[in-house]
Amino acid sequence: MSVATAGRLESTAAAWSLPWLAQRLQRSLLHIAVIGLTLVWIIPTLGLLISSFRPSTQILTTGWWTAVSPPLQFTLQNYQDMLSQSNMGTAIFNSFMVSIPSTVIPVTIAAFAAYAFAWMKFPFRDWIFLAFVGLLAVPLQLTFVPVLSFFVAHGIVPDNLTSLGLPPWIGLWLAHAGYGLPFSTYLLANFFRQLPSDLFESAEIDGAGTLTVFFRIVLPLSVPALASLIIFQFLWVWNDLLVALIYVGGSVEVAPLTVNLANLTNSLGQGYQLLTAAAFFSMVIPLAVFLSLQRYFVRGILAGSVKG
C-alpha cells in the first residue's frame, strides 16, 4: 500500500465523475486528518517555545498565542536569567559526565559478551542468554534498595567519592551500565549472529587471533547496530530522572539536567519564566542528537522491539 498504488487508484476514474469526486474528497479528508494530528502533536512544544521568548510579566497574564500578533515582544531575558540563576550550566556538564560513561561502559561490555554469545561455545550459554532476555522486563525498582544499601555501605556515594578525588557519579555509572546491559547484549548478539560465519573461518585460517577478529572484523561490520545502540542508551540516560534521583540525589554539584529541572518545577512558585527556558535548555542536546541521527535511532527501536 504505497504512495504509488494510492496514486494509481486515483487516476482510474474520469475527471469530475462521481467516483472521481468521492476520491478527491477522500484525499482531502486524509490530508486534513494528517495535518490536524500533526498540529495537535506539535502545539504543546510550540506553545512552550514561544512562551520561553516572552517577557515574564506577559507569560503570567496572557496566552502564548497572543504573542504571534503585533506588537511583537520577544526577549532572551528568560534564557539569561535561567543560566545565571538556576545552576543549569553545572547541570548540563553533569549530564554529560553521567551520560558518556553510562553509555560507553554498557555498550563496550555488551559487545564483548555479545561476541561470546554469538560465536563461542560455553556451558549454559543459551540459558544465560535466556536469563538476559527475561531481565529485559524486570522493573528497575526491584533493585534500588539493595544496590543503594550496598553503595552506601561501601562509600560509593557522591560526597565520599568527591572527597577521595574521584568522579562522584561512579555509582550511577555502574547502575546505568547494569540496567543497560540486558538490552545492549540482546541487540548486539542478534546482530553479531547474522554476520557470515565464513568471514570468521577465513580469518582464523589466516591466523588472526580473537582480538583481531573482534576489533578488525566484527566491530567495523557492526557500525550500524553500534550506532543505534549508542544513541539509544545515551538518550535513555540523558533523559532518565528516576535512577539519577536514587543514586546521586538532588544536590546541585552532581545533579544532571533532568533532576535539576524537576527540582525547579517543584520549587518555583513565581519563576515560571525560568522554567520555560530551562525546559528548552534541557532538550537541546537530545534534539540535536535525534535530528542528526534519527535514522539510526529509529533502526535501534525497530531492532529492539520487533523480535525475530
Please say which residue, 229 or 246, places its beta carbon nearer to another protein.
Answer: 246
Q: What is the DSSP letter of 72?
A: P
Only one of the segments 152-160, 171-179, 200-208, 221-229 lies at the binding site for another protein (rule: CB under 8 A); that segment is 171-179
* Amino acid symbol at 223: V
Q: Which stretch binds another protein (CB under 8 A): 68-76, 86-94, 198-206, 221-229?
A: 86-94
**Choices 68-76, 200-208, 218-226, 280-288; region in contact with another protein by CB under 8 A:** 280-288
Q: Of 112, 131, 290, which Cα lies nearest the Cα of 188?
A: 112
- Cα 308 to Cα 1, 77, 115, 139, 178: the distances in Å are 24, 52, 19, 23, 24
Contacts of 170 (CB under 8 A, 6+ apart): 156, 161
Please, what is the minimum distance in Å from the beta carbon of residue 261 to another protein? Answer: 5
List 172, 225, 226, 279, residue binding another protein (CB under 8 A): 279
Is 68 a binder of another protein (CB under 8 A)?
A: no
Give the nearer residue to another protein in terms of CB position, either 157 or 177: 177
Contact yes or no for 262/241 (Cβ under 8 A): yes
Q: Least distance to another protein from the beta carbon of 87, Å?
A: 9
Q: Tell me the window of 126-134, 152-160, 200-208, 219-227 that interacts with another protein (CB under 8 A).
A: 126-134
d(CA 265, CA 285): 20
129-148 positions binding another protein, by CB under 8 A: 130-148
45 is a site residue for another protein (CB under 8 A): yes
With CB under 8 A as the contact rule, the residue among 172, 213, 230, 235 that binds another protein is 235
Q: Does 43 bind another protein (CB under 8 A)?
A: yes
Q: Which is closer to another protein, CB of 135 or CB of 221?
A: 135
Instruction: Pick one of 55, 75, 81, 83: the residue that binds another protein (CB under 8 A).
Output: 83
Q: How far apart are CA 3 and CA 302, in angstroms?
A: 22
Instruction: Give yes or no for residue 33 binding another protein (CB under 8 A).
Output: yes
Q: Is 274 a binder of another protein (CB under 8 A)?
A: no
Q: Which residue has the cell 543497560?
A: 180
**Cα 70–72–75 angle (5° rounding)?**
170
Give backbone dihedrals phi and psi of 241, rounded to 5 degrees, phi first.
-110, -50
- Judge whether 186 and 282 are in contact, CB under 8 Å: no
Distance CA 191, CA 24 (A): 45
> Minimal distance in Å, beta carbon 259 to another protein?
8
116 contributes a contact to another protein by CB under 8 A: yes
CA angle 251, 252, 254 (to 5 degrees): 80
Cα pseudo-dihedral 198, 188, 215, 95, rounded to 10: 170
Tell me, by CB under 8 A, how many residues bind another protein.
Answer: 124
Nearer to another protein, 33 or 199 (CB): 33
- Using CB under 8 A as the binding rule, the residues of this chain from 202 to 231 that contact another protein are 209-211, 214
- Binding of residue 78 to another protein (CB under 8 A): no
Q: Give the three cell numbers for residue 177.
A: 551500565
